[in-house]
Every structure is written in C-alpha cells, then in structure tokens.
Structure 1
Amino acid sequence: MPETLIDIVRREGVGHLGAYFTPGAYTGQWFETFAGGGDRVETRDRITLDDLYAVEALNVQVPFAVGRELLDGQLGRDISARLRKIPHDAELGTPGADELIVDGGHADQAWQLLNDRNKKTGIGWVIAGKLLARKRPKLIPVYDSIVSCQFAAPTHVWLRLHDRLTENGGDLRAALAEVRRTSGVGDRVSILRVLDIVLWRRHVKEHWRDKPTTCPQRGSVEL
C-alpha cells in the first residue's frame, strides 16, 4: 500500500534534509539562494543568467540556444509576461494558488511555453519546472523523474500537491515546516523544496539502479 506524504516526512524528513544540506554534499543546496535567489525584487519577473546557472546545481542544463532566447528573445518576453501575472509570494496550498496552476492558468502557460518540444525552444518538463521553481519557489515544486516515479507519474501534479497541502488543516505543511526548523535550514528554502529533497533522496539510488518503468518503488507514495 502506498505511503502517505506526511508519514514519510515525519519519519524521514530530518535525516534527508540534514544530509542534503551538509556542507559540500550536494550542489543543489545552493539552488534557492545563488546570487540572491530567482525571486529577488529586481529580477523576479524575468529569466536571468543567474537562473540559468542556478538550475545547473540540480544537474540539468538549459541549451545555449534556448538560454539566449530566454535572455534576449521572444520566449523570454513571453515568460516575463506570465511571471508578471503571478504574485511573487503566491504559495501552493493557500487560497487562490489553484487558479494560477490549473490548465490555462498563468503558471501553467509559462510551463507550457518552456516545455513545448515542438519548437526549438522546448526544454522538457523537468527543466521547465526547475526554472519556474527558481522564479516562484513557494508555488512551483522542483519535480523530476525520481520523484514522479514514486507517485507513478500522475497528471496534474501541482494541483494534487495543492490539495495535499490544504487538507486536514494543513498538517502536511506544518510537518514540512517543522522538519525545516529542526534541521536548521533557513526559510529561504520553501516547504515545497523540503518535500522534493526528502522524496528525491529516499529514492534516487533505487531509481537509477533499476529501470524506471520496472522500479520496485514506482507508485510507492500516495499523492
């Protein structure tokens, strides 16, 4: 039977978060804070060179041609237009967040523009999500194949997470905040990122040891 997110967070969260933020352990520990963060006032509504470099801390790389288009081209202008419509402090699991992430919402539009593999600017769903998480860290989760595998690759992940964070009076949100506090990780790291780190660390070795489609932990976490 799949485990619940809150049980995993309460049981494993402090250990995984502490290990991840051990100095020098993972480059991803600088993703949120590199160059002042992607949501700092002066650059929160546009993709910058700092953002393109920051996502490399998460073991992905934006192709040069796409990066140039994001910095100086129409794609960058289109993404900026969507970002300006997303409040910088919008937070998943709070009122109004679902309107931004539903199909056709401003965050979904930005993700679709980045993920469009039918165009030369398409960078795929993983990098698209990581770039947007850099710009709106409280709203958009870092999400990759390792985390997706545990959920059995569902659709509408953002909305599902939104629902989990709101149910039962927000007990999952409270558990994530407590893990962050206990681990001594500053609140520049969002609770969404805390959840990503916990789920990523608990599965990364098994995921790459086995083929993802036959991974024994596929579908092991309830969403």
Structure 2
Amino acid sequence: MQISERLEALLVPAGEHMAVAALQRYFAPLPAGGFTGAYFERLGGGGDRPDVADTFTSDDIVAVSMLSVTVPASAVLQLLEARGPELGGLLAKIPTDVALAEITADEVGGAWPVRDVYRELLAIPGIGETTATKLLARKRPHLVPILDAVVTAELSVVKGRYWVPLHAWLTADECAGHRRLEELRSAAGLGSEVSVLRVFDVLAWMVGSGYVPEN
C-alpha cells in the first residue's frame, strides 16, 4: 500500500480544508447532495449494534447496496439462512469495541479471527473481495477496512494485501495516522459511528473517483 500524493495532500494539515470538504460532500444528506454510501454504517442503527453484531441481517444486505454492491439472491440465502449460524459463531470471536489501530501487528496476522470470516464469505458463490470486505466493514466498522477497485488503484494495493500495511500506517509514530483521521472526522462534523477506517476509505475513494480537484 502506498499513500498517493493526491491522498497525502488531504491528510496533511495544509490540505485539511479539502479533506473536510470531501467528507462533508460525501456524507451530505440526500436528496440535497451526498452519496448513498453515507448511509452504509447508519442504516438500521448499524451492523455492529449488540443485538445483531454476530448475525448477518437483511439490513446488512441493503447497507452494502448503498455502496453499489448487489449480493446475489443465492448468496443472500447462504448469509441469512444456510450458513448464518456458522458465520455468526465466527463473528462472535471478533470484538466490536476495538479499533484496528488498537491491536498489534501480530494480531493482524494469519490467526486474526477476521480472516476466518473473510475466507468463509469468499467461499460463497457470488461474493468476491469487495463484497466480503463491505460485509465485514458493516459488522466490524472499526476493525475492517473496505477494499474495492477504486481504493486498490489509488493505494496501489498488491494482491489484496491491505490490512497489514494499513495497520502499519495507522499505528506508525504512536498512531499518528489514526489520530489524524480522528481529527478530520471531528473537523467535518461527523459522529463516532463513522469509523476512522471509513474516513480513510471515503477520502481515498473520493480522490480515486475524481471528486477531489487537484491543486
């Protein structure tokens, strides 16, 4: 993963006004402006609220559609019915109250419980990397970042290797990256329901999609 010059320009103090403008544009209420993705984490009270945190629900399916993803009907039945209990058991091993920057580099390795759910999601026909990360981000928004084609291109992600390098960037220099994203979230007037990972994701996506003019 490489922070592009265009994205870096939003993350440094001198570019804060551009970053705030991009975030406010993305999360502006519809229909006056904004994007449907602004409702991804908020729909139905969130996918990580206690009563549904360990279960994929129909709200989660609708939420990922806010991010331009359509889950095939056969895959929906696997998520909600056939494989629901199995996936729920795996989700139960992943905390909801821990941020990615709060765990160690070793914890993000091969034994990370998030990877078990990720592999099981990919095993469902019709669910690829983008859909799997969006479903996981819905259930554990503070732990799992979204990875789609735009973010992959903007950050030069190689073969899906994203979680470890992103964790390294967030935690470097006493979590400077994490703290900077918190500052931008606050400056944009967003609540804590929008994770710092989503702040990063939205900024990378807005830059990669051409919504942020180059200065």
Q: Would you say same fold, with TM above 0.5? A: yes
Taking the aligned partners of 1:4 and 1:204, their CA distance within structure 2 comes to 12
Instruction: Tell me which moved more, 33-42 or 19-28.
Output: 19-28
Matched length: 201
Structure 2 counterpart of 1:28, one-letter code: G
1:87-146 deviation per Cα after TM superposition (whole angstroms, max 9, x unaligned): 1112111134752x4224210111111123xx53x4000000000000000000122110
Q: Does 1:9 align with 2:14?
A: no
CA contact (8 A) 1:129 1:143 kept: yes
Q: Does 1:38 align with 2:42?
A: no
**Structure 1 residue 16, shift from structure 2 partner:** 1.0
CA contact (8 A) 1:176 1:191 kept: yes
- Of residues 95, 98, 111 in structure 2, which corresponds to 1:90? 98
2:140 corresponding residue in structure 1:
136
CA contact (8 A) 1:91 1:97 kept: no
Taking the aligned partners of 1:130 and 1:26, their CA distance within structure 2 comes to 16
Structure 1 counterpart of 2:197, one-letter code: L
With structure 2 as the length reference, what TM-score do the two structures score?
0.87
Structure 2 residue matching 1:184: 3-state secondary structure: coil
Instruction: Tell me which moved more, 185-194 or 17-26.
Output: 17-26
With structure 1 as the length reference, what TM-score do the two structures score?
0.84
1:214 corresponding residue in structure 2:
none
CA contact (8 A) 2:22 2:203 kept: yes
- Of residues 16, 20, 29 in structure 2, which corresponds to 1:23? 29
- Of residues 113, 120, 130 in structure 2, which corresponds to 1:126? 130
CA contact (8 A) 1:93 1:161 kept: no
CA contact (8 A) 1:85 1:106 kept: yes
> 5+ residue gaps in structure 2?
none
Taking the aligned partners of 2:85 and 2:113, their CA distance within structure 1 comes to 14
Structure 2 residue matching 1:58: 3-state secondary structure: coil
Taking the aligned partners of 1:67 and 1:148, their CA distance within structure 2 comes to 26
1:57-80 deviation per Cα after TM superposition (whole angstroms, max 9, x unaligned): 00101111111111111x222221
CA contact (8 A) 1:28 1:57 kept: yes
**Alignment RMSD:** 2.0
CA contact (8 A) 1:92 1:98 kept: no
The 1:5/1:102 distance shift into structure 2, 3 A limit, reads farther
> 5+ residue gaps in structure 1?
207-223
CA contact (8 A) 2:109 2:164 kept: yes
2:156 corresponding residue in structure 1:
152
Query: Kindly, what percent of the aligned residue pairs are identical?
Result: 36
Q: Does 1:197 align with 2:202?
A: yes
